[in-house]
Amino acid sequence: MTADLLTVEALAAGYGPVPVLHDVDLRVPTGTIAAVIGANGAGKTTLLRTLSGMLRPTAGRILLDGRDLRGTAVEQLVRRGVAHVPEGRGVIGELTVEENLRLGALWRRDRGDAARALDEVYQLFEPLAARRRHLGHQLSGGERQMLALGRALVGRPRLLLLDEPSLGLAPRVVAQTMALLRRLRDENGLTVLLVEQNVRSALAVADQGIVMSLGRIALAAPAARLRDDADLRHAYLGF
């Protein structure tokens, strides 16, 4: 029995007076991948933004390692081991590849390990090493994906929040990304919560599938069940 790294209880959030999330409960055990899937407007991105503190919950609790995250500022979250790769990946186009990556580790006190993490990212994503001095906006979609993931990884996060990593990428790049997430989970014990519209590739790599609909959790089940149980899939995912 692994402990849950992330626990969300009765979470509600929204934009101004407009509620988006209602009564969201979920658990992500340490060292597993959870895929949040659902239609456009189901509240997936809102969920991630609330988890990383950019949006304040109106009710409920978010626990990281059993500790309440309430009152933790967005800029402090990365120090608690949470890395959020936002919608559109958040590569800063005006900065070079190297600057983007360094930015991901600037908060770290252990400069030696930060430098090691940077080297590891360059080994993991070789195309980035060749383009260190290029500006972010000169990169291809696949390279941006690498940069966004690499920038999250130099912080050596425990929990990685990913918003639509497959968006706008070639199927081959999507497959590589998912394979990488699986590897990071298996080798480094990384915990991942990813939000995806690309249900098949998300479920292929996930341990748990969380189906959202109209701001609520419609179903949370082992990903294998969602993959294999045609009735369930049909009922909740429509294919």
Partner 1 sequence: MDRFLFLTLDGLSRGAVYAAFALALVLIWRAGRIVNFAQGAMAVAAAYVAYSVTAATGSYWLGFGAALLAGLLLGAVVDIAVMRLVDHRSPLNPVIVALGLVLLIQAVLGMVYGNEYLPAQTPFSRSALTVGGTAVLSPYDLFVFATVGVVGAALVWIFTRTAIGLRMRAAAFAPEVSRLLGVNVGGMLTLGWALASGVGALAGMLVIPTELGLHPHAMDLVFVSAFTAAVIGGLDSPPGAVVGGLGVGLLLSYVSGYAGGDLIPLAVLALLMTVLLVRPGGLFAPVTARRV
User: Least distance to partner 1 from the beta carbon of 51, Å?
Assistant: 11
- 10 near partner 1, judged by CB under 8 A: no
By CB under 8 A, which span of 2-10, 19-27, 101-109, 193-201 interacts with partner 1?
A: 101-109
Q: Does 75 bind partner 1 (CB under 8 A)?
A: yes
CA distance 217 to 63: 18
Closer residue to partner 1 (CB): 29 or 90: 90
138 binds partner 1 (CB under 8 A): no
Cβ 239 to partner 1, closest distance in Å? 33
Distances (CA, A) of 70 to 60, 84, 151, 194: 10, 17, 25, 22
Rg of the chain over Cα atoms, rounded to whole angstroms, equals: 17
Q: Is 90 in the site for partner 1 (CB under 8 A)?
A: yes
**Cβ distance to partner 1 smaller for residue 98 or 229:** 98
The reply to whether 134 sits near partner 1 by the rule CB under 8 A is no
Cα maximum dimension of the chain? 52
Least distance CB 26 / partner 1 (angstroms): 21
Q: What track of x and - describes contact with partner 1 for positions 139 through 178 (by CB under 8 A)?
A: ------------x---x-----------------------
Q: How far is the CB of 160 from partner 1 (least distance, A)?
A: 12
Closer to partner 1 at the Cβ: 112 or 238?
A: 112
Q: Which stretch binds partner 1 (CB under 8 A): 15-23, 89-97, 125-133, 183-191?
A: 89-97
Written as one string, the DSSP assignment of 71-125 is: T--HHHHGGGTEEEE-TTTT--TTSBHHHHHHHTTTT-S-HHHHHHHHHHHHHHS
Report the alpha-carbon distance of residue 3 to residue 157 in Å, rounded: 17
Token digits of residue 1: 């029995």
Binding residues among 44-63 for partner 1 as defined by CB under 8 A = 52, 54
Retrieve residue 143's tokens.
Answer: 């390279």
- DSSP assignment of 123-177 equals HHSHHHHHTTTSBGGGS-HHHHHHHHHHHHHTT--SEEEEE-TTTT--HHHHHHH
Using CB under 8 A as the binding rule, whether residue 79 contacts partner 1 is answered as: yes
Q: Using the rule CB under 8 A, is 84 a contact of partner 1? A: yes
Q: Residue 81 interacts with partner 1 (CB under 8 A)?
A: no
Contacts of 143 (CB under 8 A, 6+ apart): 127, 128, 131
> Contact residues for partner 1 (CB under 8 A)?
52, 54, 74-79, 83-84, 86, 90, 92-95, 99, 102-104, 106-107, 151, 155
